Amino acid sequence: MAGNLSKAKDQRIFSRSNSRKSVMSQILIDYYKAIENSSAKMLDAARAEDWEGVMRYEGACAVLIEQLRCRAKTEALDASTRQEKTRIMQRILCNDAQIRYLAEPWLDHFESKFEGQQLLH
């Protein structure tokens, strides 16, 4: 009888531990999804040549990335959410490449405007 109670208690603890890991994994994935969403908005802004909008969403991404870094120090993803993270990261990198491609002419124009001028830091 005592062995059965101990076993049941161990199972509850294991179940709670797995449940906590699942919740923590979901929290981390939600950060990745928010970063992906912000990068998609950056891409939309770049397509519209709204460079101030691009910078706003870039700032939002930076805040989310920093928050994710802090959370990821103490929490880890389980196997299934690691796969989801990989898919999300691939979409973020694709968005980033498209944003860079769209921004290149604007950056060239910006650099030519200030060519020969010394910028103060």
Residue 61 belongs to domain with CATH number? 1.20.58.380
Residue 69, domain member (yes or no)? yes
Residue 108, domain member (yes or no)? no
**Of the candidates 90, 105, 119, the residue with the CA atom closest to the CA atom of residue 47:** 105
Number of domains in the chain: 1
Residue 59, domain member (yes or no)? yes
Distance CA 90, CA 108 (A): 27
Residue 62, domain member (yes or no)? yes
Tens digit of each residue's pLDDT (9 = 90 or more) over 15-56 = 455 666 688 889 999 999 999 999 999 999 999 999 999 999
pTM: 0.73
> Which structural domain, as residue segments, surrounds residue 85?
20-98
Residue 116, domain member (yes or no)? no
Residue 120, domain member (yes or no)? no
**Of the candidates 10, 38, 43, 36, the residue with the CA atom closest to the CA atom of residue 91:** 36
pLDDT surpasses 90 at 98: yes
Residue 44, domain member (yes or no)? yes
Q: What pLDDT does 14 receive?
A: 46
Q: Which residue reads 């880890």 in tokens?
A: 76
Q: Which residue reads 């770049």 in tokens?
A: 46
Q: How many CA atoms lie within 13 A of 30 on its CB side?
A: 8
